Chain A
Amino acid sequence: MKNILKFIFFVTVLTTTGFGSIASEQSQKLLNPGWSFKGFFGKFDRSSLQRGYQVYTEVCAACHSMKYLSYRNLAQQGGPEFSEDQAKIIASQFEVIDGPNSEGDMFTRPARLSDNFVGPYANDEAAKSANGGAYPPDMSVLVKARKGGASYIYSILLGYDDPPPDVSLEDGVYYNTYMSENKIKMPKPLSENLVQYSDGTQATEEQMAKDVSTFLAWAAEPNLEQRHKMGFRAVLYLIIITILVYFSMKKIWSRIETDV
């Protein structure tokens, strides 16, 4: 029994200190405003998700696609939870290429709930060429694709600064405290009151950065809340049945007179 506990402790220490952390190159500690979705009982803040969607659509979607999301996701449980009608209206504001029709031509039509998010460019090459050779990454799983996750995105958005005197940057390259090598090709996207939040919240840079990072975190993990809920039940169940089986084991082994 003691050995088992030692083992669990050993493994927990190993895994939580993590092999990842030693390979860390992060020179700067990331900004962390606190995320409602972290932790065992973490949930997404609905209004933050809706504001974050607004920031994404009005600011980021000009260059960044989100191809693995569908408009119907905006209405599903665990997300921004727009009503189905609101989501339909949102979808219908975008044009989708469909076809061929019976004449063999492609045509455009307003998007439906079942369509994936319409991206700003026809393909990756168009995206790169419109952005000085740098491809604005698709944001569907961006939060999972960067070490530091939502905090990393948040930090980048707020991390623009004047370069120190000894650093010179080429055209189209900007200084950012949290990028590796401090260089980024995206110009600073956020500024005070850039967006007029429909719920009246003050659109400070920090607010927009937090909301859009929350939205992106949801986009990458739309099932997070269900996962946490199921996880709680699964862990609780396992603890109970482990205890029951432990006592069953003791009962069975008590049939042998001596323990060696």
Chain B
Amino acid sequence: MSDQKKTKRRDFIFTASYTLGVVGVGAAVWPLIDQMNPDASVKAHSSTEVNISEVQPGQSITVLWRSKPVFIKRRTEEEIAKARQVDLKELKDPEKDEDRAKNPEWLVIVGICTHLGCVPLGNKGEYGGWFCPCHGSHYDTSGRIRKGPAPTNLEVPKYEFVDSNTIKIG
């Protein structure tokens, strides 16, 4: 066998081994990484049902969904009107209130400040909504950021009315 042919054969076997080796190592490493992803039991708790029959107009309750606080607020006519009258140009994160609360009486938002994660306080702040004491973010009656360092509006999770007394979040 000529030396050149020998070199070619030798390189092929090495390249093939290396490539297959890398594939194998990748396949072996993946489970070690994926095990840190949410496991099946955590994923199973991805929705929560809440009974809202006792919530009065103007009242807000806080429930846990996926280990996070969610504010469910039954808004008064005033609060709804205030939210709908806001000019979108004034908003840091423009969003229509109609898009955030399909049923205007009920506002369902994740109670985690979009700045650094503190839980804002209800019925506080200059815009009639929530106020985050950590760094002074103000949210309005639609949960939108109006003043302060938070970059985006309070998140609206996926939710639906199972019946007139129950909201299913997630």
Residues of A whose CB lies within 8 Å of any CB of B are 70, 72, 76, 113-114, 237-238, 240-241, 244-245, 247-248, 251
Contact = CB atoms under 8 A, between A and B. Distances in A.
B20 A241 contact: yes
B40 to A, nearest CB: 8
B44 A241 contact: no
Q: Majority SS of interface residues in chain B?
A: helix
B107 to A, nearest CB: 20
A259 B100 CA distance: 78
Residue in B9, B23, B24, B44 whose Cβ sees the most chain A Cβ within 10 Å:
B44
B75 to A, nearest CB: 21
B17 A244 contact: yes
26 contacts: A70-B41, A70-B44, A72-B40, A72-B44, A113-B44, A114-B41, A114-B45, A237-B23, A237-B24, A237-B27, A241-B17, A241-B20, A241-B21, A241-B24, A244-B13, A244-B16, A244-B17, A244-B20, A245-B17, A248-B13, A248-B14, A248-B17, A251-B9, A251-B10, A251-B13, A251-B14
A247 B13 contact: yes
Nearest to A247: B13
Interface in B16-38: 16-17, 20-21, 23-24, 27
Nearest to B51: A101
Contacts of A247: 13
Contacts of A76: 40
Contacts of B13: 244, 247-248, 251
Nearest to A101: B51
A132 B13 CA distance: 69
Contacts of B17: 241, 244-245, 248
A27 B40 CA distance: 42
Contacts of B24: 237-238, 241
A18 B135 CA distance: 66
Contacts of B41: 70, 114
Contacts of B10: 251
A241 B18 CA distance: 9
Contacts of A251: 9-10, 13-14
Nearest to B21: A241
A72 B40 CA distance: 10
A7 to B, nearest CB: 23
A185 B98 CA distance: 66
Nearest to A255: B10
A240 B21 CA distance: 10
Residue in B13, B20, B27 whose Cβ sees the most chain A Cβ within 10 Å:
B13
Contacts of B27: 237
Contacts of B44: 70, 72, 113-114
A106 B23 CA distance: 53
A240 B14 CA distance: 14
A19 B140 CA distance: 72
A199 B143 CA distance: 53
A245 B24 CA distance: 13
B59 to A, nearest CB: 13
A72 B43 CA distance: 11
Contacts of B23: 237
A114 B40 CA distance: 9
Interface in B67-94: none
Contacts of A72: 40, 44
Contacts of B14: 248, 251
A26 to B, nearest CB: 36
Nearest to B16: A244
Nearest to B49: A112
A240 B20 contact: yes
Contacts of A237: 20, 23-24, 27
A145 B163 CA distance: 46
A237 B16 CA distance: 13
